[in-house]
Amino acid sequence: MSIRRPDPLAQVSDFDIRLLRLFRSVVECGGFSAAEGALGIGRSAISQQMSDLEQRLGLRLCQRGRAGFALTEEGREVYQASQQVLSALETFRTEVNGLHRHLRGELNIGLTDNLVTVPQMRITHALARLKERGPDVRIQIRMIPPGEVEQGVLGGSLHVGVVPQAGALPGLEYLPLYSERSQLYCAVGHPLFYVDDDALEDRRLNDQNAIAPTFRLPTEIQAHYGALNCSASASDREGMAFLILTGRYIGYLPDHYARQWVQQGRLRALKPGTRFYDLSLASVTRKGRRPHLVLESFLEALDATG
């Protein structure tokens, strides 16, 4: 009895692939009974699924009965074709898994300046892990003001950034990394450099020329600058350090960044018990971004450093 279908097979579904795998096992085992152990199902289930495959293909694939199991001519051709299909799928799986093991591509990262002196070094460690996993990955770092980092991530020119967290912008996701403490500093040559903290009145301190950052900060931190006589501004912490080191301004700097000049005797913290603030730094990525294996690997590495 013919079971030929009038129309060609329209498409190959996941169900068809499962049936072809079963068919291959039956052929390689030499029959339904012999395939029971390999497939982990009974003979009746195997027979039913073979019938389903024949119905799907519109072809008689094998003879089964008292005479034993034997492929038809069409069955032999389908078996050869199924070998090619299943082999191609395995090659595809192997190559895709290889992409996970051998990363290729580019990571464009924007950083707020002077994070390299943060003791935790989470960014440095994450970049090292990324490069270990993907030796061919190209890493591009841009040191730019926080606002430009966020706009770069939003616009797509940057995959990820690290910025002071001052409230989330729409369209961006923030992951806190660590907190840094900033203190109020002056340099050698400034009138307050040798004044004892106990003798330093707040009114005199607030009258000094000071530097304000132009990047976004949380409201509670802005209050620290509001109390000062900010007659200069800078877009980043390095610019603030330049002005403080003139000996003509006071200003806040992260203590990990200022430490080198403190140890050299060129900077001192003013009233460190009260004139300080803590600022959270966060990684920033775009919401709804397209899958990007290099970026996701970097974020996984960054999370693992926590």
The DSSP letter of residue 197 is G
Give the per-residue pLDDT at 227. Answer: 94
> 34-65, pLDDT tens digit by residue?
888 888 899 899 999 999 999 888 899 998 77
Percent with pLDDT over 90 in the chain: 58
pLDDT by residue (tens digit) across 230-246? 999 998 889 999 999 99
Whether 117 contacts 168, CB under 8 Å: no
- The angle that helices 73-101 and 14-29 make with each other, rounded to 10 degrees, is 120
Cα angle at 131 between 125 and 134, to 5 degrees?
140
pLDDT at 9 over 80: no
Burial tier of 26 (Cβ tally within 10 Å: 0-12, 13-18, 19+): buried
Inter-axis angle of helices 43-57 and 14-29, to 10 degrees? 120
Q: What is the Cα–Cα distance from 33 to 69, expressed in whole angstroms?
A: 10
What confidence category does residue 305 fall into, taking pLDDT thresholds of 50, 70 and 90? confident
Q: What is the pTM of this model?
A: 0.65
Average model confidence (pLDDT) across the chain: 89
**Cα(109)–Cα(163) distance, integer angstroms:** 11
Domains, the chain: 14-101 (1.10.10.10), 106-166+287-304 (3.40.190.10), 179-280 (3.40.190.290)
Q: Which residues contact 272 (CB under 8 A, 6 or more apart)?
A: 183, 184, 197
pLDDT tens digit sequence for 113-162: 888 888 888 999 999 999 988 888 999 999 988 889 999 999 989 999 99
φ and ψ of 217, to 5 deg: -135, 155
Q: How confident is the model at residue 1 (pLDDT cuts 50, 70, 90)?
A: very low
